[in-house]
Structure formats: structure tokens, C-alpha cells
Amino acid sequence: MKSVYLESSVISYISSNPSRDLIVSARQIITMDWWTNHKKEYNIFVSELTIKEISLGSDAQSKKRLSLIEGVEVLETTENAKKLAKILIKNRVVPKTSAEDALHIAISAVQNIDFLLTWNFKHINNANTKEKIKHIIEKNDYNSPILCSPEELNR
């Protein structure tokens, strides 16, 4: 069974109240469909970083987000992941100001995850940076996860 690492944006889309913004609303529906109908096809993982991010905000919303990942295996943030994240930043694939995004990528690579599921198109699932990310990960002797959205993994 293939493995999927959940970046915090996916969990947030599942737990958020329906949005009036058409694009956000569509993404919420797509994410719920993936969660309901496709999640069982994969081994699901989160990280300590994911938990930290979804714990932020109001108590009610953070509890709702945390309840979604009860029983999901939590990946350790290893020294190797921290080093790889720094390399991604040093090579300007991910900006310094988005160190958490680099760490999500690095954790999933170091832990040999097949897919990193995200709605973060700015620094993670970005057509302009995907190849650069893959190149740096593989240059450092790790397998690069496929960076994709729930919509891309629904098919």
C-alpha cells in the first residue's frame, strides 16, 4: 500500500466551515471526497510539525482538526530531515521565510513517503519548483515524494 503524508492545509480544508469563496469551497469538497472515498487506499502519516500547525487557532477548531488525525501514525522530525530542509532553503528552492514548508517536504522524503498531499501551491506543490525539489532530494540520496493535491490523488 502506498503512503501519504498529510500537510496541514489538507486537514484544515476537511475541518473548516464551508467557504463562500468558490475556489476554496471546491477544494473543501474535493478534499472531503478524498478523505471519505480514497484515504483507505493509503497508509496515512502526519508529522510533529503537522500536529503543531493544526493545533494553532481557536480551541474548538484545533480540537476538530486534531480529532481527524487520531490514530494516524506520527513521523519523527529527524536530524536528517532538518538537514535536508536546510539544503532546500540554501538552494533557494523554498524561501527562508517558509522553513516549515521545506521541513514538510524533507520529512516526507527522509521517511520515504510516496505522496505529500497539500493545497500549498506557493512553495510545495508548485510547477516551477517541483523538479528543483526532486533534484535536490535525489542528489541527497533520498526518494522524492510526489507532491500533489487531493484532486490529483483522486484519480
Residue 155: its pLDDT value, please? Answer: 64
- Size of the chain, expressed as the number of residues it contains: 155
Q: Read off the pTM.
A: 0.93
Alpha helices in 16-125 (DSSP H): 22-37, 48-54, 59-68, 79-90, 99-110
The answer on pLDDT for 111 being more than 90 is yes
pLDDT in tens, 122-144: 889 999 999 999 999 999 999 99
Q: Say if residue 17 is exposed, middle or buried (CB neighbours under 10 Å; 0-12, 13-18, 19+).
A: exposed
**In the chain, % of residues over pLDDT 70:** 99
pLDDT in tens, 70-109: 999 999 999 999 999 999 999 999 999 999 999 999 999 9
**In the chain, % of residues over pLDDT 90:** 83
Sorted by where each starts, the structural domains of the chain and their CATH numbers stand as 3-153 (3.40.50.1010)
